[in-house]
A and B are shown apart, each in its own frame.
Chain A
Amino acid sequence: MRYVEPGLVLRFARNQLAALLVILGGMVLLLSLLTSTFLTANNIFNVLRAFSWIAIASFGQSIVIIGGGIDLSAGSNMAFAGIITAMLLLAGYSVVFSILVGLLITLGIGLLNGLMVSKTKLPPFIATLGTMSIVRGFCYGMTQGWPVRNLPRSFMFLGQTDIWRVPLPAIIMIGLAVFCAILLEKTKLGYHVYAVGGNEYAASLVGINTGRVKTIAFTLSGLFAGIGGLLMTARLGVAAPTAAQGYELDIIAAAVIGGISLTGGEGSVWGALIGAAIMQILRNALVLMGFPAYWQPAAIGAVIIGAVMIDMYRKRKV
Protein backbone atom coordinates (compact mmCIF):
# COMPACT_ATOMS: atom_id res chain seq x y z
CA MET A 1 0.00 0.00 0.00
CA ARG A 2 1.33 3.42 -0.90
CA TYR A 3 0.92 6.27 1.48
CA VAL A 4 3.62 8.39 0.00
CA GLU A 5 4.04 11.82 1.44
CA PRO A 6 4.83 14.60 -1.01
CA GLY A 7 8.48 15.41 -1.63
CA LEU A 8 10.17 18.36 -0.03
CA VAL A 9 9.87 20.67 -3.02
CA LEU A 10 6.19 19.97 -3.53
CA ARG A 11 5.52 20.30 0.16
CA PHE A 12 7.23 23.67 0.18
CA ALA A 13 5.34 24.86 -2.85
CA ARG A 14 2.09 23.68 -1.33
CA ASN A 15 2.87 25.37 1.90
CA GLN A 16 1.01 28.63 1.90
CA LEU A 17 3.09 30.07 4.70
CA ALA A 18 6.32 29.37 2.91
CA ALA A 19 5.04 31.15 -0.18
CA LEU A 20 3.90 34.12 1.88
CA LEU A 21 7.23 34.31 3.66
CA VAL A 22 8.94 34.43 0.29
CA ILE A 23 6.78 37.39 -0.72
CA LEU A 24 7.44 39.12 2.58
CA GLY A 25 11.17 38.44 2.37
CA GLY A 26 11.27 39.77 -1.16
CA MET A 27 9.58 43.00 -0.05
CA VAL A 28 12.00 43.45 2.82
CA LEU A 29 15.00 42.82 0.60
CA LEU A 30 13.79 45.20 -2.07
CA LEU A 31 13.07 47.94 0.44
CA SER A 32 16.41 47.60 2.18
CA LEU A 33 18.07 48.07 -1.18
CA LEU A 34 15.85 50.95 -2.26
CA THR A 35 15.89 52.98 0.93
CA SER A 36 18.43 53.55 3.65
CA THR A 37 15.74 54.04 6.27
CA PHE A 38 13.67 50.87 6.00
CA LEU A 39 15.99 48.37 7.64
CA THR A 40 16.66 50.40 10.78
CA ALA A 41 15.68 49.03 14.15
CA ASN A 42 13.62 52.13 14.73
CA ASN A 43 11.56 51.68 11.63
CA ILE A 44 11.12 47.93 12.01
CA PHE A 45 9.77 48.34 15.52
CA ASN A 46 7.57 51.16 14.37
CA VAL A 47 6.11 48.92 11.70
CA LEU A 48 5.69 46.12 14.22
CA ARG A 49 3.81 48.36 16.59
CA ALA A 50 1.70 49.92 13.91
CA PHE A 51 0.37 46.70 12.51
CA SER A 52 0.02 44.83 15.76
CA TRP A 53 -3.55 45.93 16.42
CA ILE A 54 -4.69 45.24 12.90
CA ALA A 55 -3.02 41.84 13.10
CA ILE A 56 -4.62 41.03 16.45
CA ALA A 57 -8.06 41.92 15.13
CA SER A 58 -7.35 39.88 12.04
CA PHE A 59 -6.67 36.78 14.16
CA GLY A 60 -10.25 36.89 15.40
CA GLN A 61 -11.43 37.71 11.90
CA SER A 62 -9.49 34.69 10.61
CA ILE A 63 -11.31 32.35 12.96
CA VAL A 64 -14.62 33.72 11.71
CA ILE A 65 -13.65 33.56 8.03
CA ILE A 66 -12.21 30.06 8.34
CA GLY A 67 -15.52 29.15 9.97
CA GLY A 68 -17.33 30.38 6.88
CA GLY A 69 -18.40 33.81 8.13
CA ILE A 70 -17.22 37.40 7.99
CA ASP A 71 -17.12 40.07 10.68
CA LEU A 72 -17.63 43.60 9.42
CA SER A 73 -18.02 44.98 12.92
CA ALA A 74 -14.31 44.58 13.75
CA GLY A 75 -13.39 48.23 13.15
CA SER A 76 -16.30 49.54 15.20
CA ASN A 77 -15.47 47.11 17.98
CA MET A 78 -11.90 48.37 18.06
CA ALA A 79 -13.11 51.92 18.54
CA PHE A 80 -15.79 50.94 21.04
CA ALA A 81 -13.45 49.00 23.32
CA GLY A 82 -11.21 52.06 23.42
CA ILE A 83 -14.06 54.43 24.21
CA ILE A 84 -15.61 52.29 26.96
CA THR A 85 -12.27 51.78 28.64
CA ALA A 86 -11.25 55.42 28.25
CA MET A 87 -14.52 56.68 29.71
CA LEU A 88 -14.26 54.33 32.66
CA LEU A 89 -10.67 55.41 33.25
CA LEU A 90 -11.71 59.05 33.24
CA ALA A 91 -14.51 58.18 35.65
CA GLY A 92 -11.80 57.01 38.00
CA TYR A 93 -12.03 53.25 37.70
CA SER A 94 -8.86 51.18 37.86
CA VAL A 95 -6.94 50.26 34.74
CA VAL A 96 -7.58 46.55 35.13
CA PHE A 97 -11.30 47.00 35.71
CA SER A 98 -11.71 49.42 32.81
CA ILE A 99 -9.87 47.13 30.43
CA LEU A 100 -11.87 44.11 31.54
CA VAL A 101 -15.17 45.89 31.02
CA GLY A 102 -14.05 47.19 27.61
CA LEU A 103 -13.11 43.71 26.50
CA LEU A 104 -16.20 42.11 28.00
CA ILE A 105 -18.40 44.47 26.05
CA THR A 106 -16.78 43.75 22.70
CA LEU A 107 -16.87 40.07 23.58
CA GLY A 108 -20.58 40.52 24.19
CA ILE A 109 -21.01 42.23 20.81
CA GLY A 110 -19.21 39.29 19.21
CA LEU A 111 -21.52 36.91 21.06
CA LEU A 112 -24.51 38.86 19.79
CA ASN A 113 -23.17 38.59 16.23
CA GLY A 114 -22.72 34.88 16.73
CA LEU A 115 -26.23 34.37 18.07
CA MET A 116 -27.76 36.38 15.24
CA VAL A 117 -25.91 34.22 12.74
CA SER A 118 -26.49 30.86 14.40
CA LYS A 119 -29.92 31.28 15.94
CA THR A 120 -31.78 33.68 13.69
CA LYS A 121 -29.82 32.50 10.63
CA LEU A 122 -28.99 36.02 9.49
CA PRO A 123 -26.23 36.03 6.87
CA PRO A 124 -23.00 37.08 8.66
CA PHE A 125 -22.51 39.93 6.21
CA ILE A 126 -25.86 41.45 7.16
CA ALA A 127 -25.71 40.75 10.88
CA THR A 128 -22.26 42.28 11.30
CA LEU A 129 -23.00 45.14 8.91
CA GLY A 130 -25.81 45.98 11.31
CA THR A 131 -23.67 45.77 14.43
CA MET A 132 -20.92 47.71 12.69
CA SER A 133 -23.32 50.61 12.34
CA ILE A 134 -24.97 50.20 15.73
CA VAL A 135 -21.66 50.07 17.58
CA ARG A 136 -20.32 53.06 15.65
CA GLY A 137 -23.48 54.90 16.59
CA PHE A 138 -22.79 54.15 20.25
CA CYS A 139 -19.25 55.46 19.78
CA TYR A 140 -20.58 58.78 18.51
CA GLY A 141 -23.48 58.94 20.92
CA MET A 142 -21.48 58.24 24.06
CA THR A 143 -18.76 60.75 23.19
CA GLN A 144 -20.92 63.29 21.37
CA GLY A 145 -18.28 63.15 18.67
CA TRP A 146 -15.39 64.29 20.86
CA PRO A 147 -12.27 62.18 21.26
CA VAL A 148 -11.76 61.02 24.84
CA ARG A 149 -8.35 62.23 26.02
CA ASN A 150 -6.17 62.67 29.10
CA LEU A 151 -5.95 58.97 29.84
CA PRO A 152 -3.76 57.86 32.74
CA ARG A 153 -0.15 57.00 32.01
CA SER A 154 -0.61 53.61 33.64
CA PHE A 155 -2.98 52.72 30.80
CA MET A 156 -0.91 54.24 28.01
CA PHE A 157 1.98 52.16 29.26
CA LEU A 158 0.36 49.20 27.48
CA GLY A 159 0.76 50.79 24.10
CA GLN A 160 3.93 52.78 24.54
CA THR A 161 6.29 50.51 26.45
CA ASP A 162 9.11 48.63 24.81
CA ILE A 163 10.69 45.51 26.21
CA TRP A 164 14.25 45.25 24.97
CA ARG A 165 13.21 47.76 22.33
CA VAL A 166 10.40 45.51 21.12
CA PRO A 167 7.04 47.28 21.47
CA LEU A 168 4.74 45.61 23.98
CA PRO A 169 1.81 45.47 21.51
CA ALA A 170 4.01 43.44 19.15
CA ILE A 171 4.82 41.00 21.93
CA ILE A 172 1.16 40.67 22.81
CA MET A 173 0.43 40.13 19.13
CA ILE A 174 2.87 37.21 18.93
CA GLY A 175 1.41 35.71 22.09
CA LEU A 176 -2.11 35.91 20.73
CA ALA A 177 -1.01 34.47 17.38
CA VAL A 178 0.40 31.44 19.18
CA PHE A 179 -2.81 31.13 21.18
CA CYS A 180 -4.98 31.28 18.05
CA ALA A 181 -2.75 28.92 16.12
CA ILE A 182 -2.98 26.34 18.89
CA LEU A 183 -6.71 26.85 19.15
CA LEU A 184 -7.28 26.38 15.44
CA GLU A 185 -4.76 23.69 14.67
CA LYS A 186 -4.55 21.61 17.81
CA THR A 187 -7.94 21.63 19.47
CA LYS A 188 -11.18 19.90 18.72
CA LEU A 189 -12.90 23.28 18.49
CA GLY A 190 -10.38 24.36 15.86
CA TYR A 191 -11.02 21.23 13.83
CA HIS A 192 -14.71 21.97 13.98
CA VAL A 193 -14.19 25.58 12.88
CA TYR A 194 -12.49 24.32 9.72
CA ALA A 195 -15.23 21.73 9.25
CA VAL A 196 -18.06 24.24 9.56
CA GLY A 197 -16.35 26.66 7.20
CA GLY A 198 -15.42 23.96 4.72
CA ASN A 199 -18.86 22.39 4.50
CA GLU A 200 -21.43 23.40 7.04
CA TYR A 201 -23.99 20.82 6.02
CA ALA A 202 -21.46 18.00 6.19
CA ALA A 203 -20.39 19.22 9.60
CA SER A 204 -23.98 19.14 10.83
CA LEU A 205 -24.50 15.65 9.35
CA VAL A 206 -21.65 14.25 11.43
CA GLY A 207 -23.12 15.85 14.53
CA ILE A 208 -20.96 18.95 14.93
CA ASN A 209 -22.92 21.67 16.68
CA THR A 210 -22.38 24.23 13.95
CA GLY A 211 -24.29 26.98 15.72
CA ARG A 212 -22.09 26.70 18.77
CA VAL A 213 -18.92 26.73 16.69
CA LYS A 214 -20.00 29.86 14.82
CA THR A 215 -21.06 31.61 17.99
CA ILE A 216 -17.68 30.96 19.57
CA ALA A 217 -15.89 32.19 16.43
CA PHE A 218 -17.78 35.50 16.38
CA THR A 219 -17.33 35.94 20.11
CA LEU A 220 -13.58 35.51 19.76
CA SER A 221 -13.56 37.98 16.88
CA GLY A 222 -15.27 40.56 19.08
CA LEU A 223 -12.78 39.94 21.86
CA PHE A 224 -9.73 40.19 19.61
CA ALA A 225 -10.97 43.37 17.95
CA GLY A 226 -11.39 44.73 21.47
CA ILE A 227 -7.82 43.82 22.41
CA GLY A 228 -6.49 45.42 19.23
CA GLY A 229 -8.57 48.53 19.83
CA LEU A 230 -7.36 48.87 23.41
CA LEU A 231 -3.72 48.61 22.40
CA MET A 232 -4.26 51.23 19.73
CA THR A 233 -6.00 53.50 22.23
CA ALA A 234 -3.19 53.00 24.73
CA ARG A 235 -0.60 53.81 22.11
CA LEU A 236 -2.33 57.01 20.95
CA GLY A 237 -3.62 58.06 24.33
CA VAL A 238 -6.91 58.98 22.78
CA ALA A 239 -10.15 57.12 22.11
CA ALA A 240 -11.78 58.73 19.11
CA PRO A 241 -15.29 57.81 18.01
CA THR A 242 -14.02 57.87 14.44
CA ALA A 243 -11.09 55.57 15.26
CA ALA A 244 -10.55 52.46 13.17
CA GLN A 245 -13.19 53.52 10.70
CA GLY A 246 -12.78 51.31 7.65
CA TYR A 247 -10.23 49.10 9.40
CA GLU A 248 -12.50 46.09 8.94
CA LEU A 249 -11.42 46.10 5.32
CA ASP A 250 -7.73 46.15 6.23
CA ILE A 251 -8.36 43.39 8.74
CA ILE A 252 -10.17 41.25 6.19
CA ALA A 253 -7.55 42.05 3.55
CA ALA A 254 -4.79 40.93 5.92
CA ALA A 255 -6.53 37.60 6.35
CA VAL A 256 -7.13 37.18 2.64
CA ILE A 257 -3.59 38.13 1.64
CA GLY A 258 -2.53 35.61 4.25
CA GLY A 259 -4.22 32.87 2.24
CA ILE A 260 -7.44 32.58 4.22
CA SER A 261 -10.13 31.80 1.69
CA LEU A 262 -13.26 33.91 1.97
CA THR A 263 -15.25 30.78 1.18
CA GLY A 264 -14.08 29.31 4.48
CA GLY A 265 -12.43 26.16 5.72
CA GLU A 266 -8.87 27.09 4.84
CA GLY A 267 -5.94 29.12 6.01
CA SER A 268 -4.07 29.83 9.20
CA VAL A 269 -3.52 32.58 11.71
CA TRP A 270 0.14 32.78 10.73
CA GLY A 271 -1.03 33.64 7.25
CA ALA A 272 -3.12 36.48 8.64
CA LEU A 273 -0.10 37.69 10.61
CA ILE A 274 2.07 37.74 7.53
CA GLY A 275 -0.76 39.29 5.53
CA ALA A 276 -1.04 42.13 8.05
CA ALA A 277 2.74 42.57 7.93
CA ILE A 278 2.73 42.75 4.14
CA MET A 279 0.02 45.44 4.22
CA GLN A 280 1.84 47.51 6.82
CA ILE A 281 5.25 47.21 5.21
CA LEU A 282 3.69 48.29 1.95
CA ARG A 283 2.17 51.38 3.60
CA ASN A 284 5.44 52.13 5.31
CA ALA A 285 7.41 51.68 2.11
CA LEU A 286 5.17 54.01 0.16
CA VAL A 287 5.82 56.77 2.68
CA LEU A 288 9.53 56.07 2.97
CA MET A 289 9.96 56.13 -0.78
CA GLY A 290 7.98 59.34 -1.05
CA PHE A 291 5.31 57.70 -3.18
CA PRO A 292 2.63 60.34 -3.80
CA ALA A 293 -0.21 60.05 -1.29
CA TYR A 294 -2.74 60.42 -4.06
CA TRP A 295 -1.59 57.21 -5.72
CA GLN A 296 -1.27 55.11 -2.59
CA PRO A 297 -4.71 53.49 -2.60
CA ALA A 298 -4.01 52.27 -6.12
CA ALA A 299 -0.74 50.68 -5.05
CA ILE A 300 -2.34 49.02 -2.05
CA GLY A 301 -5.19 47.65 -4.13
CA ALA A 302 -2.78 46.27 -6.69
CA VAL A 303 -0.82 44.48 -3.99
CA ILE A 304 -3.94 42.90 -2.51
CA ILE A 305 -4.99 41.56 -5.88
CA GLY A 306 -1.45 40.49 -6.74
CA ALA A 307 -0.90 38.62 -3.49
CA VAL A 308 -4.18 36.75 -3.72
CA MET A 309 -3.58 35.94 -7.38
CA ILE A 310 -0.16 34.48 -6.64
CA ASP A 311 -1.75 32.36 -3.96
CA MET A 312 -4.49 31.10 -6.25
CA TYR A 313 -2.04 30.39 -9.04
CA ARG A 314 0.10 28.41 -6.63
CA LYS A 315 -2.92 26.41 -5.46
CA ARG A 316 -3.92 25.56 -9.00
CA LYS A 317 -0.43 24.57 -10.03
CA VAL A 318 0.49 22.15 -7.30
Chain B
Amino acid sequence: MEAKVFASSQPILSLRGISKYFGGVHALEDVDFDVYPQEIVALVGDNGAGKSTLVKIIAGVHRPTKGHIFFQGQPVEIHSPHDAQALGIEIVYQELALIETRDVPANFFLGREPVKGRLGIFVDRRKMVEDTVRTLRELGIELPYLRSPVRYLSGGQRQALAIGRVMPWGGKIIIMDEPTAALGVKESRRVLDLILRLKEKGCSVIVISHNMRHVFNVADRIVVLRGGRKVGDKKKSETTPDEIVKLIVGADML
Protein backbone atom coordinates (compact mmCIF):
# COMPACT_ATOMS: atom_id res chain seq x y z
CA MET B 1 0.00 0.00 0.00
CA GLU B 2 2.58 2.52 1.15
CA ALA B 3 5.10 1.35 -1.34
CA LYS B 4 2.69 2.28 -4.07
CA VAL B 5 2.19 5.78 -2.75
CA PHE B 6 5.89 6.59 -2.88
CA ALA B 7 6.72 4.44 -5.88
CA SER B 8 7.10 7.55 -7.98
CA SER B 9 10.15 8.69 -6.02
CA GLN B 10 13.21 6.93 -4.66
CA PRO B 11 14.07 7.47 -0.98
CA ILE B 12 16.84 10.02 -0.61
CA LEU B 13 18.07 8.13 2.45
CA SER B 14 17.57 4.48 3.35
CA LEU B 15 18.70 2.57 6.40
CA ARG B 16 18.52 -1.19 6.25
CA GLY B 17 18.78 -3.63 9.14
CA ILE B 18 20.42 -1.12 11.44
CA SER B 19 21.42 -2.38 14.91
CA LYS B 20 23.40 -0.46 17.47
CA TYR B 21 24.74 -2.00 20.66
CA PHE B 22 26.40 -0.04 23.42
CA GLY B 23 28.08 -2.85 25.27
CA GLY B 24 25.14 -4.87 26.49
CA VAL B 25 22.54 -2.22 25.68
CA HIS B 26 20.71 -2.89 22.44
CA ALA B 27 19.76 0.67 21.56
CA LEU B 28 18.58 -0.32 18.06
CA GLU B 29 17.65 -3.71 16.67
CA ASP B 30 17.26 -4.37 12.94
CA VAL B 31 15.66 -1.05 12.02
CA ASP B 32 14.73 -0.08 8.45
CA PHE B 33 14.19 3.61 7.94
CA ASP B 34 13.53 5.66 4.81
CA VAL B 35 13.33 9.35 4.07
CA TYR B 36 11.86 10.55 0.79
CA PRO B 37 12.58 13.85 -0.92
CA GLN B 38 10.54 16.76 0.36
CA GLU B 39 9.09 14.68 3.13
CA ILE B 40 8.66 15.43 6.81
CA VAL B 41 9.14 12.27 8.88
CA ALA B 42 8.30 12.31 12.56
CA LEU B 43 10.26 9.89 14.69
CA VAL B 44 8.44 9.06 17.90
CA GLY B 45 8.85 6.71 20.84
CA ASP B 46 9.25 6.69 24.57
CA ASN B 47 12.36 7.77 26.40
CA GLY B 48 15.19 5.47 25.57
CA ALA B 49 13.41 4.03 22.52
CA GLY B 50 16.47 4.71 20.36
CA LYS B 51 15.40 7.81 18.45
CA SER B 52 18.48 9.88 19.17
CA THR B 53 20.71 6.93 18.52
CA LEU B 54 19.14 6.42 15.12
CA VAL B 55 19.61 10.02 14.04
CA LYS B 56 23.13 10.10 15.40
CA ILE B 57 23.94 7.16 13.15
CA ILE B 58 22.64 9.19 10.23
CA ALA B 59 24.65 12.20 11.39
CA GLY B 60 27.89 10.25 11.60
CA VAL B 61 28.24 10.39 15.39
CA HIS B 62 27.77 6.66 15.88
CA ARG B 63 28.69 3.82 13.59
CA PRO B 64 25.98 1.14 13.35
CA THR B 65 26.88 -2.26 14.79
CA LYS B 66 25.02 -3.90 11.90
CA GLY B 67 23.22 -2.69 8.83
CA HIS B 68 23.73 -0.48 5.81
CA ILE B 69 23.02 3.09 4.80
CA PHE B 70 22.06 4.13 1.27
CA PHE B 71 22.06 7.70 0.06
CA GLN B 72 20.11 8.25 -3.17
CA GLY B 73 20.32 4.55 -3.75
CA GLN B 74 24.10 4.36 -3.30
CA PRO B 75 25.63 2.57 -0.28
CA VAL B 76 27.52 5.06 1.87
CA GLU B 77 29.58 4.98 5.03
CA ILE B 78 29.19 7.94 7.32
CA HIS B 79 32.25 7.98 9.53
CA SER B 80 32.00 11.45 10.99
CA PRO B 81 29.73 14.47 11.21
CA HIS B 82 31.76 15.95 8.37
CA ASP B 83 30.83 13.02 6.11
CA ALA B 84 27.17 13.61 6.92
CA GLN B 85 27.50 17.32 6.23
CA ALA B 86 29.14 16.55 2.91
CA LEU B 87 26.05 14.50 1.96
CA GLY B 88 23.82 17.43 2.88
CA ILE B 89 22.66 16.07 6.21
CA GLU B 90 22.26 18.67 8.95
CA ILE B 91 21.25 17.94 12.52
CA VAL B 92 20.03 19.84 15.54
CA TYR B 93 21.06 17.71 18.50
CA GLN B 94 18.86 17.09 21.48
CA GLU B 95 21.88 18.18 23.56
CA LEU B 96 22.09 21.34 21.39
CA ALA B 97 25.89 20.95 21.22
CA LEU B 98 26.63 24.53 22.15
CA ILE B 99 29.79 25.80 23.84
CA GLU B 100 28.57 27.76 26.84
CA THR B 101 31.76 29.77 27.17
CA ARG B 102 31.76 31.02 23.57
CA ASP B 103 29.77 33.79 21.98
CA VAL B 104 26.95 33.46 19.46
CA PRO B 105 28.94 33.68 16.21
CA ALA B 106 31.49 31.14 17.45
CA ASN B 107 28.67 28.73 18.25
CA PHE B 108 26.87 29.53 15.06
CA PHE B 109 29.83 28.33 13.00
CA LEU B 110 31.05 25.74 15.48
CA GLY B 111 33.26 23.20 13.75
CA ARG B 112 33.11 24.87 10.35
CA GLU B 113 34.45 28.32 10.89
CA PRO B 114 34.98 30.20 7.62
CA VAL B 115 38.60 30.97 6.88
CA LYS B 116 40.29 33.72 4.95
CA GLY B 117 43.72 34.35 3.57
CA ARG B 118 45.99 32.10 1.62
CA LEU B 119 47.04 29.91 4.54
CA GLY B 120 43.49 28.85 5.20
CA ILE B 121 43.97 28.84 8.95
CA PHE B 122 42.73 32.29 9.93
CA VAL B 123 39.10 32.57 10.86
CA ASP B 124 37.05 35.13 8.98
CA ARG B 125 35.47 36.67 12.02
CA ARG B 126 33.70 39.45 10.15
CA LYS B 127 31.94 37.00 7.88
CA MET B 128 30.96 34.97 10.92
CA VAL B 129 29.34 37.92 12.61
CA GLU B 130 27.60 39.17 9.46
CA ASP B 131 26.23 35.77 8.51
CA THR B 132 25.08 35.08 12.04
CA VAL B 133 23.22 38.36 12.25
CA ARG B 134 21.64 37.88 8.83
CA THR B 135 20.49 34.31 9.44
CA LEU B 136 19.10 35.01 12.87
CA ARG B 137 17.27 38.02 11.49
CA GLU B 138 15.81 36.00 8.63
CA LEU B 139 14.59 33.37 11.05
CA GLY B 140 13.18 35.96 13.39
CA ILE B 141 15.34 34.75 16.26
CA GLU B 142 15.94 37.41 18.84
CA LEU B 143 19.10 37.21 20.87
CA PRO B 144 20.52 39.86 23.16
CA TYR B 145 24.23 40.59 23.07
CA LEU B 146 25.83 38.66 20.28
CA ARG B 147 29.25 38.80 21.88
CA SER B 148 28.34 37.41 25.26
CA PRO B 149 29.02 33.81 26.09
CA VAL B 150 26.08 31.55 25.29
CA ARG B 151 25.77 30.71 28.99
CA TYR B 152 23.98 34.03 29.44
CA LEU B 153 21.22 32.97 27.02
CA SER B 154 17.95 31.42 28.17
CA GLY B 155 17.13 27.80 27.40
CA GLY B 156 14.79 28.79 24.56
CA GLN B 157 17.30 31.21 23.11
CA ARG B 158 19.90 28.49 23.07
CA GLN B 159 17.57 26.10 21.31
CA ALA B 160 16.74 28.78 18.76
CA LEU B 161 20.45 29.30 18.17
CA ALA B 162 21.05 25.57 17.78
CA ILE B 163 18.26 25.37 15.20
CA GLY B 164 19.26 28.55 13.44
CA ARG B 165 22.83 27.57 12.89
CA VAL B 166 22.08 24.56 10.67
CA MET B 167 19.96 26.61 8.27
CA PRO B 168 22.52 28.40 6.10
CA TRP B 169 24.31 25.27 4.98
CA GLY B 170 21.79 24.22 2.34
CA GLY B 171 21.26 20.77 3.79
CA LYS B 172 19.07 18.32 1.86
CA ILE B 173 18.04 16.44 4.97
CA ILE B 174 17.49 18.39 8.18
CA ILE B 175 17.24 16.41 11.39
CA MET B 176 15.78 18.00 14.51
CA ASP B 177 15.97 16.05 17.75
CA GLU B 178 13.24 17.48 20.02
CA PRO B 179 13.59 21.01 18.65
CA THR B 180 10.67 22.41 20.61
CA ALA B 181 11.56 20.86 23.97
CA ALA B 182 12.58 24.15 25.57
CA LEU B 183 10.37 26.48 23.60
CA GLY B 184 7.28 28.49 24.48
CA VAL B 185 4.04 28.30 22.50
CA LYS B 186 4.86 31.12 20.14
CA GLU B 187 8.42 29.92 19.56
CA SER B 188 7.27 26.33 18.99
CA ARG B 189 4.85 27.55 16.37
CA ARG B 190 7.73 29.32 14.65
CA VAL B 191 9.78 26.17 14.55
CA LEU B 192 6.88 24.18 13.08
CA ASP B 193 6.46 26.85 10.45
CA LEU B 194 10.14 26.68 9.76
CA ILE B 195 9.91 22.94 9.25
CA LEU B 196 7.09 23.40 6.76
CA ARG B 197 9.02 26.12 4.96
CA LEU B 198 12.05 23.85 4.71
CA LYS B 199 9.88 21.26 3.02
CA GLU B 200 8.60 23.87 0.59
CA LYS B 201 12.17 24.74 -0.23
CA GLY B 202 12.73 21.10 -1.16
CA CYS B 203 14.32 19.71 1.97
CA SER B 204 13.44 16.54 3.81
CA VAL B 205 13.04 16.86 7.54
CA ILE B 206 13.30 14.23 10.26
CA VAL B 207 11.77 15.57 13.43
CA ILE B 208 11.76 13.87 16.83
CA SER B 209 9.10 14.99 19.25
CA HIS B 210 7.06 13.79 22.18
CA ASN B 211 4.31 16.28 21.37
CA MET B 212 1.56 14.55 19.31
CA ARG B 213 -0.01 17.86 18.33
CA HIS B 214 3.25 19.03 16.83
CA VAL B 215 3.78 15.71 15.15
CA PHE B 216 0.38 15.64 13.52
CA ASN B 217 0.72 19.27 12.62
CA VAL B 218 3.71 18.89 10.34
CA ALA B 219 4.56 15.28 9.63
CA ASP B 220 3.80 13.45 6.39
CA ARG B 221 4.76 10.14 7.88
CA ILE B 222 5.26 8.89 11.41
CA VAL B 223 7.79 6.24 12.40
CA VAL B 224 7.45 4.66 15.83
CA LEU B 225 10.34 3.07 17.76
CA ARG B 226 9.86 0.97 20.84
CA GLY B 227 12.72 -0.67 22.71
CA GLY B 228 15.04 -0.16 19.76
CA ARG B 229 12.71 -1.79 17.21
CA LYS B 230 10.58 -0.13 14.60
CA VAL B 231 6.97 -0.90 15.51
CA GLY B 232 5.14 1.46 13.19
CA ASP B 233 5.57 3.37 9.96
CA LYS B 234 2.34 5.21 9.05
CA LYS B 235 1.29 7.91 6.65
CA LYS B 236 -0.31 10.65 8.69
CA SER B 237 -3.47 10.51 6.61
CA GLU B 238 -3.87 6.85 7.49
CA THR B 239 -3.43 6.97 11.23
CA THR B 240 -4.61 8.77 14.34
CA PRO B 241 -2.86 10.14 17.40
CA ASP B 242 -4.52 7.37 19.39
CA GLU B 243 -3.05 4.66 17.24
CA ILE B 244 0.40 6.21 17.41
CA VAL B 245 0.23 6.45 21.18
CA LYS B 246 -0.76 2.78 21.33
CA LEU B 247 2.21 1.88 19.17
CA ILE B 248 4.51 3.95 21.35
CA VAL B 249 3.54 2.33 24.62
CA GLY B 250 2.89 -1.11 23.12
CA ALA B 251 -0.38 -2.89 22.67
CA ASP B 252 0.35 -5.25 25.51
CA MET B 253 0.25 -2.33 27.91
CA LEU B 254 -3.37 -1.58 27.16
Contacts and interface: CB of A to CB of B under 8 A. Distances in A.
Interface of A: 1-6, 14, 186-192, 194-195, 197-199, 201-208, 261, 264-266
B145 A207 contact: no
B51 to A, nearest CB: 16
B95, B97, B110: which has the most chain A beta carbons within 10 Å? B110
Given A190-B123, A204-B61, 11 more contacts: A14-B148, A187-B122, A187-B123, A188-B121, A191-B106, A191-B123, A197-B101, A198-B100, A202-B98, A207-B60, A207-B82
Contact of B111 (A189, A190, A197, A206): A206
26 contacts: A1-B136, A1-B142, A2-B142, A2-B144, A4-B145, A186-B123, A186-B125, A187-B121, A188-B113, A188-B122, A191-B113, A191-B123, A199-B99, A201-B95, A202-B93, A202-B98, A202-B99, A202-B110, A203-B99, A205-B81, A205-B93, A205-B97, A206-B81, A207-B60, A207-B81, A265-B99
A199 B106 CA distance: 13
Contacts of B123: 186-188, 190-191
Nearest to A208: B111
Nearest to B119: A187
- By size class, the interface of chain B is 35 or more
B137 A194 contact: no
A59 to B, nearest CB: 18
For the complex of A and B, the 7 pairs showing the least CB-CB separation, nearest first, are: A207-B81, A206-B111, A265-B101, A198-B99, A202-B97, A198-B101, A205-B97
A4 B144 contact: yes
B111 A203 contact: yes
A71 to B, nearest CB: 20
A188 B146 CA distance: 20
Contact of B85 (A191, A195, A207): A207
A210 to B, nearest CB: 11
B99, B121, B123: which has the most chain A beta carbons within 10 Å? B99
Contacts of A199: 97-100
B182 interface: no
B101 A194 contact: yes
Interface of B: 60-61, 80-82, 85, 93, 95-102, 106, 110-113, 115, 121-123, 125, 133, 136-137, 142-149
A248 B123 CA distance: 32
A1, A189, A206, A208: which has the most chain B beta carbons within 10 Å? A206
Nearest to B99: A198
Contacts of A197: 101
Contacts, number: 92
A169 B2 CA distance: 75
Given A195-B99, A206-B110, A3 B133 contact: yes
Nearest to B129: A3
A201 B93 CA distance: 11
Contacts of A264: 101
Contacts of A206: 81, 97, 110-112
Nearest to B106: A191
B122 to A, nearest CB: 5
A1 to B, nearest CB: 5
A14 B152 CA distance: 13
Nearest to B138: A1
Nearest to B128: A191
Nearest to B132: A3
A261 B142 CA distance: 29
Contacts of B111: 192, 195, 203, 206-208
A4 B148 CA distance: 11
Contacts of A186: 122-123, 125
Nearest to B115: A188
